[in-house]
């Protein structure tokens, strides 16, 4: 798949110079889909457009949304950049993980970058299936946001799709919003039967998210799982316990 099908998502970017530089480097590598989640700067202002140089069109066509789920709408795969280790989650280098975004039928896909000062929250990391860290020297590990995007765009253009066996269901990988609907239904049911409690629901649901994200659910599979939850709810209601 062509890297141009990958969304570059910036969560709450605060520096207009960074956003302009990112637009420029995206155009260098023929990436055009820039998505800004609740930007904290004027991404169309003089500073941003000055740094974008000949990539002002990338800024002008950037999509601005309020939340990360909105930014991921329609995406089938997402990689989040982070320096933090997570339970049961492997941190991979760009060269190791980026080809996964370009596999046949994986797109549209997304590469998510966090805030300049503190990156992505744990809640935001839950929306990705894989996690990427750019290897840097331990003496000064922190990368500028624009530099991190530049390295990632370069590595993305070098990535070659993996050769895999496919079948008819491979082009039905469930979009993010479809899986989110399942998570909401699952949490509601588990709360009603007191498997979850309000004060622990977020941490327990994070474990479920990690499990299902690794599975890469297809649309038909999500429909099957939601059907099971509906049948369980119906059976409980019939017994008078819900």
What string of pLDDT tens digits covers the 242 residues of the chain?
678 889 999 999 999 999 999 999 999 999 999 999 999 999 999 999 999 999 999 999 999 999 999 999 989 899 999 987 766 678 899 999 999 888 856 678 999 999 999 899 999 999 999 999 999 888 888 889 999 999 999 999 888 554 444 444 445 788 888 889 999 999 999 999 989 999 989 999 998 988 888 888 888 888 889 989 888 888 888 876 55
| Judgement on whether residues 30 and 117 belong to the same structural domain of the protein | yes
Assigned token pair, 193: 């039967």
Long-range pairs, 39-44, Cβ under 8 A, ≥24: 39/10, 39/12, 39/13, 39/64, 40/12, 40/13, 40/14, 41/13, 41/14, 41/15, 41/16, 42/16, 43/13, 43/16, 43/19
| Judgement on whether residues 126 and 223 belong to the same structural domain of the protein | no
| Judgement on whether residues 106 and 224 belong to the same structural domain of the protein | no
Buried b (16+ CB within 10 A) or exposed e, 188-225: ebbeeeeebeeeeeeeebbebbbebbeebbbbebbeeb
| Judgement on whether residues 107 and 226 belong to the same structural domain of the protein | no
Strand partners, 130: 79
Domain that holds residue 152: 3-158
> Which of 158, 186, 220 is the last residue in one of the domains?
158
109 CB contacts (<8 Å, ≥6 apart)?
A: 5, 6, 7, 75, 76, 77, 78, 79, 101, 102
Question: How many domains are contained in the chain?
Answer: 2
Measured between its terminal Cα atoms, the distance across the chain in Å is: 48
| Judgement on whether residues 134 and 199 belong to the same structural domain of the protein | no
């Amino acid at each position: 798949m062509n890297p141009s099908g990958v969304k570059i998502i910036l969560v709450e970017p605060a520096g207009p110079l960074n956003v302009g530089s990112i637009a420029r480097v995206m155009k260098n590598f023929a990436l055009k889909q820039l998505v800004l989640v609740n930007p904290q700067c004027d991404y169309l202002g003089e500073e941003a457009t000055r740094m974008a140089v000949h990539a002002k069109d990338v800024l002008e066509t950037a999509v601005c949304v309020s939340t990360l789920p909105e930014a991921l709408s329609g995406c089938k795969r997402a990689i989040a950049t982070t320096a933090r280790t997570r339970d049961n989650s492997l941190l991979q280098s760009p060269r190791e993980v980026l080809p996964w975004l370009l596999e046949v039928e994986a797109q549209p896909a997304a590469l998510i970058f966090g805030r300049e000062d503190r990156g992505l929250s744990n809640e935001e990391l839950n929306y990705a299936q894989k996690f990427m860290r750019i290897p840097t020297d331990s003496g000064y590990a922190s990368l500028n946001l624009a530099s991190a995007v530049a390295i990632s765009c370069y590595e993305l253009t070098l990535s070659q799709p993996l050769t895999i066996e496919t079948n008819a269901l491979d082009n039905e990988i469930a979009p993010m919003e479809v899986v989110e609907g399942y998570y909401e239904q699952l949490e509601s049911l588990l709360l009603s039967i007191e498997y979850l409690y309000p004060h622990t629901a977020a941490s327990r649901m994070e474990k479920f998210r990690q499990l299902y994200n690794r599975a890469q659910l297809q649309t038909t599979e999500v429909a099957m799982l939601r059907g099971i939850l509906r049948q369980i709810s119906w059976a409980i209601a019939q017994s008078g316990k819900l």
